[in-house]
């Protein structure tokens, strides 16, 4: 769509009550979802910035990748509803869809899977990086370091203006993330690093590298592999969230893609974003027993107490999180498969879910269990250490990050991201020399 096709004149008239001047602000329509008021000329014409900390009313870019309607609980990748993809598709197909915009033909899918598996191995030198960390380092710290370090290894694909170079870097990132995550885990538990097996599917290979040892055969449980594949699909992209916006912002300066993804991983780490699945488990441990739940519910409701129920609420989904619905079902499939019963943390989780869904405070504020609530429980049941939960989120989100990064670079209106501010500090002060202070 050209700029002219998208905007129409029935826009907004902004009146400056200080001067009485009026300004016409064009409105741009997307294919679905809210229109946007185009404020690009606002500063030039009015000498004012817009002010929107947390970007709750700001569209930062144009995108064709992911659509979310938080009120209706809709999430679609390239137009395909998330529940349909989770049921009918697999992660490799979803990666292709996010990167190229279309579902692959059988031949395209086969080639894509082959090409991704061709890049799963890490440069041997990279393995030395892991050995430089403390064994008790948080795996997200290791991920930030090692993924950033990849930028020192691939000098053949550093021209970000060449689409081929960008795709090679994208494939490498998607392919190597499970290997990096599994190696970080193996290092933390002191087990030998497992090399990827390219005869296995993406999720199966990931479980293999995490759980196998060189001493014995390891058979991937198909129910767990399917659950992992679904978790990867559900987390693959989520439009302009904090980590994706970080990747776009870092990339807008023309930075190396591996460094940009490392910045995204850092942003994902926080407990209000990807770190929530880890925070859920920590919170369940802190609650400790089912009879303590009311006490924690009361803490969460107390305005003077900063405590929040981790895994509840979402910035965008205000009625339900469509990913959480699929995840809830997957969660019960995994618990059944593993025969998990009498696991105190899972009992607490299920009771917490029940109470919060009925409690007036949570119902009124539309605080439903989000995707991280269930993913934390699934990972716990699978025996994955808590500190690794956000790493798994990073593995899944890598395809979204690279798809968004590619889209940003291809966008002709792309500029370096440079927000402005409302300055409230001192105006101008006279410098007083040290001996006079
Ligand atoms: N527990 C208790 N109260 C809550 C919670 C919660 N988890 N979440 C929001 N509230 C209350 C909050 O205190 C506020 O109350 P009031 O209107 O009386 O001041 C109201 O609900 C609205 O909260 P908000 O902070 O304005 O909402 P937000 O849209 O800025 O925050 C959130 C969204 C996800 C940061 C928040 O719900 C939260 O901190 N949840 C827990 C952390 C979590 O699970 N994060 C994972 C998000 S999903 C993963 C992802 O997509 O990255």
Pocket probe mutation, ligand 1, options 73, 264, 313, 319, max atoms within 8 Å of Cβ: 313
> Can you give the pLDDT at residue 23?
94
At residue 227, the 3 state secondary structure works out as helix
Could you tell me whether strands 66-69 and 74-77 are parallel, antiparallel, or unpaired per DSSP bridges? antiparallel
Q: Assess whether pLDDT exceeds 70 at residue 8.
A: no
Backbone dihedral angles phi then psi of residue 26, each to the nearest 5 degrees? -65, 155
Q: What is the pLDDT of residues 125-178, one digit of tens each?
A: 999 999 999 999 999 999 999 999 999 998 877 899 999 999 999 999 999 999
> Can you give the pLDDT at residue 174?
98
Q: What is the pLDDT of residues 320-345, one digit of tens each?
A: 889 988 988 898 889 889 887 767 88
Q: How far apart are CA 171 and CA 344, in angstroms?
A: 41
What confidence tier does 49 reach under pLDDT thresholds 50, 70, 90?
very high
Q: What is the pLDDT of residues 187-200, one digit of tens each?
A: 999 999 999 999 99
Reading the block at residue 384, the tokens are 């994955």
Beta strands in 16-127 (DSSP E): 22-28, 36-37, 66-69, 74-77, 80-81
Reading the block at residue 381, the tokens are 């049941």
Reading the block at residue 349, the tokens are 């989780």
Q: What is the pLDDT of residues 78-136, one digit of tens each?
A: 999 999 999 999 999 999 999 999 999 999 999 999 999 999 999 999 999 999 999 99
Mean pLDDT of the chain: 92
pTM of the model: 0.89
| Residues 149/175, Cβ–Cβ less than 8 Å | no
Q: How far apart are CA 435 and CA 437, in angstroms?
A: 6
> Can you give the pLDDT at residue 347?
84
Q: Find the 297 Cα to ligand 1 centroid distance in Å.
A: 14
Q: What is the pLDDT of residues 235-254, one digit of tens each?
A: 999 999 999 999 999 999 99
Q: How far apart are CA 65 and CA 155, in angstroms?
A: 28
Nearest CA to ligand 1 atom 32: 314
> What atom in ligand 1 is closest to the CA of residue 371?
48
> What atom in ligand 1 is closest to the CA of residue 273?
52
> Can you give the pLDDT at residue 47?
93
> What atom in ligand 1 is closest to the CA of residue 373?
44
Per-residue b or e along 99-135, where b marks 16 or more CB atoms closer than 10 Å to that residue's CB:
beeeebeeeeeeebbeebbebbebeeebeebbeebee
> Can you give the pLDDT at residue 6?
56
Name the residues annotated as catalytic: 314, 372
Nearest CA to ligand 1 atom 27: 315
| Residues 50/422, Cβ–Cβ less than 8 Å | no
Q: Find the 314 Cα to ligand 1 centroid distance in Å.
A: 6
What confidence tier does 346 reach under pLDDT thresholds 50, 70, 90?
confident
Q: Give the HSE-up count for residue 373: Cα atoms under 13 Å, Cβ half-sphere.
A: 30
Ligand 1 neighbours (beta carbon < 6 A): 238, 241, 272-274, 276, 300, 308-315, 365, 367, 370-372
């Amino acid at each position: 769509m050209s700029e002219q096709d998208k905007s129409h004149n029935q826009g907004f008239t902004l009146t400056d009550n200080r001067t009485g001047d009026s300004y016409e602000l064009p409105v741009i329509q997307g294919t679905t979802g809210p229109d946007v008021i185009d404020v690009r000329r606002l500063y030039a014409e009015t000498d004012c910035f817009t002010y929107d900390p947390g970007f709750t009313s700001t569209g930062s870019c144009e995108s064709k990748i992911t659509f979310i309607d938080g009120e209706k609980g809709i999430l679609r990748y390239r137009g395909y509803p998330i529940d349909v993809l989770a049921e009918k598709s697999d992660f490799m197909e979803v990666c292709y869809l996010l990167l190229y915009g279309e579902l692959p033909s059988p031949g395209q899918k086969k080639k894509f899977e082959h090409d991704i598996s061709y890049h799963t191995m890490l440069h041997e030198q990279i393995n030395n990086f892991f050995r430089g960390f403390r064994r008790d380092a948080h795996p997200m710290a290791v991920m930030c370091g090692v993924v950033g370090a990849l930028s020192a290894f691939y000098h053949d694909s550093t021209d970000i203006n060449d689409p081929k170079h960008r795709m090679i870097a994208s494939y490498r990132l998607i392919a190597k993330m499970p290997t990096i995550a599994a190696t970080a885990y193996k290092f933390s538990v002191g087990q030998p690093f497992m090399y990827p097996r390219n005869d296995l599917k993406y999720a199966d290979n990931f479980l293999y590298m995490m759980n196998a040892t060189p001493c014995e055969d390891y058979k991937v449980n198909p129910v767990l592999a399917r659950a992992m594949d679904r978790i990867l699909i559900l987390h693959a992209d989520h439009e302009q969230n904090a980590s994706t916006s970080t990747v776009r912002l870092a990339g807008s300066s023309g930075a190396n893609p591996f460094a940009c993804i490392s910045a995204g991983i850092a942003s994902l780490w926080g407990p209000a974003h990807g770190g929530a699945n880890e925070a859920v488990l920590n919170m369940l441990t802190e609650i400790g027993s089912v009879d303590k739940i009311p006490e924690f519910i009361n803490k969460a409701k107390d305005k003077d107490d900063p405590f929040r129920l981790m895994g509840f609420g979402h910035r965008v989904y205000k009625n339900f999180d469509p990913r959480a619905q699929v995840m809830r079902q997957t969660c019960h499939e995994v618990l059944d498969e593993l025969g998990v019963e009498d696991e105190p943390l899972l009992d607490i989780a299920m009771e917490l879910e029940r109470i919060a869904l009925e409690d007036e405070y949570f119902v009124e504020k539309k605080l439903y269990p989000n995707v991280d609530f269930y993913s934390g429980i699934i990972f716990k049941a699978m025996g994955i250490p808590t500190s690794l939960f956000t790493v798994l989120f990073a593995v899944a989100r890598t395809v979204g990050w690279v798809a968004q990064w590619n889209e940003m670079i291809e966008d002709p209106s792309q500029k370096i991201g440079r927000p402005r501010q409302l300055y409230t500090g001192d105006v101008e002060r006279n410098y007083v020399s040290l001996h006079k202070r």
